[in-house]
Amino acid sequence: MGTMPIGRLLISMSLPMMISMFIQAFYNVVDSMFVAMISEDALTAVSLSFPLQNVIIAIAVGTGVGINALIPRHLGSGNPERAERAANVGIFLNACYCVIFIIFGLTMSRAFFQMQTNETDIINYGTTYFSIVCIFSFGAFFGQYFEKLLVASGYSTLSMISQATGAIINIIFDPLLIFGIGPFPEMGVAGAAIATVFGQTVAAFVAFWFNLRKNRSVKFHFRQMSPNSRVIKDIYAVGIPSMITIGLGSAMTFLMNQILLAYSTTATAIFGIWIKLQSFGYMALYGMNNGTIPILSYNRSAGKPERVRKIIRLAFGTALVISLAVMTVAEIIPEQLLTLFSASDNMMSIGITALRIFSISFPFGGCCIILSSSFQALGRARYTLAVNLCRQILFIVPIAGLLSVIIGDLTAIWFAVPATECLSLILASLFFRRISKELI
């Protein structure tokens, strides 16, 4: 990480993660596509379940990101023992998460959907789907964790293989379990949930096996898995901003759904489709972030500021190019994208305009993601938190609410998305300018 040419290093670390996260986002989209074939109510239920499902992802990814930055930092400063200790403590944390969400899934799933709608079918679909995802969240937590251990130790390709394995299994079993193809029973929304957790669990076991067999930077020891306050603090110092970032997305989606439900459940379904497509469009950038953070962390700890500067510059330029390409595609084929989700005539009439407005946000959001994530690796995680708090809550929800009250037209509300991404990029640029001389 400290000697390889920057371009080659960024590609070798980021490309496998970009591919794996692209595949992961693809199966999230495919999951919604198959659910939409059941009914629009089923798609709406899955969209309404996204905020809670995203909380699981937020905690899993945040803990993994903390490890992703902490282990290279210890390795770069010549402390492999501390790196190994951190890796083992992370296993304890993920086990605690699993217990908490099993209890939540058994007791609170139905109440969450009853808070949002009185439609019986949507409540039943949502409760079924999320209960399964929540109770069997083992794969989500440990899959993310073991994959991040591989990335932190320089084995990005193995992480890609484990994620791709889980994604492919999910894609294969989705139609089999939803529609009852061949020897499989027809399970509807429950089948979609089972396919999801099955794919996540297989990915977790594959990543664990790779760590046991290939990862020489860390070893698993039961005694080292006991909680250690210093290690936990170090993990969360970097991980909590990522947790909050993704968790804020859950809060944002929930609040936006409440605004949109005043117009129709179809508007909520369209926003849910956008969230899936947005994640798909940004996955290459998230993958690049996962590859970039350990490189920045290592070189900062190793005292190589010139490499840090070059890495950020190259990552930013790459993000801009990717974002512009994604925006262009979304502007050209919104109708075809909605067709993938079995859109009705009503959904199509609303959704085409919505997707075209939403897609304007891609270049602003892509560049903002790169800048705000670099703050974490450079020891300024509070700036990451501030940017994402504004991006996910403080900008978009008030803007959407004001547009709804002042203009009262659904089309106007869609403009809250690009406006938010533009303002967030301005804020991230100001923060980066403030710390660039000090840190780089």
pLDDT-wise least confident of 256-260, 303-307, 353-357, 421-425 = 303-307
Under a CB-based contact definition with an 8 Å cutoff, are residues 77 and 262 in contact? no
* % helix, strand, coil for the chain, step of 5: 85, 0, 15
Cβ within 8 Å of residue 13, ≥6 positions away = 1, 151, 154, 156, 291, 292, 294, 295
Question: pTM of whole model > 0.85?
Answer: no
Q: Does the residue 440 lie in any domain?
A: no
Between residues 395 and 378, which one has the greater pLDDT? 395
Separation of first and last alpha carbons in the chain: 17
CB atoms within 10 A of CB 161: 19
Q: What is the mean pLDDT of residues 293-317?
A: 74
pLDDT tens digits, residue range 209-230? 998 888 777 777 776 777 777 7
Q: Does the residue 333 lie in any domain?
A: yes
Share of the chain above pLDDT 90, in %: 32
pLDDT tens digits, residue range 103-118? 999 998 899 889 888 8
Burial (CB count <10 Å: 0-12, 13-18, 19+), residue 9: buried
Cα–Cα distances in angstroms (integers) from residue 295 to residues 113, 290, 308, 317, in the given order = 42, 9, 8, 17
Report phi then psi at 186, rounded to 5: -80, 115
Q: Fill in the amino acid letter for 167.
A: A
For residue 37, the enclosing domain spans 6-434
- Say if residue 330's pLDDT is above 70: yes
pLDDT tens digits, residue range 58-101? 888 888 878 777 777 766 666 667 777 777 888 889 999 999 99
Q: According to the model, what pLDDT value does residue 233 have?
A: 83
CA nearest 283: which of 21, 8, 41? 21
Q: According to the model, what pLDDT value does residue 315 have?
A: 82
Q: Does the residue 439 lie in any domain?
A: no
The number of domains in the chain is 1
pLDDT tens digits, residue range 130-144? 999 999 999 999 998
Q: Does the residue 1 lie in any domain?
A: no
Torsion angle defined by CA atoms of residues 6, 7, 9 and 13, in that order, rounded to the nearest 10 degrees: 130
Cα distance between residue 202 and residue 205, in whole Å: 5
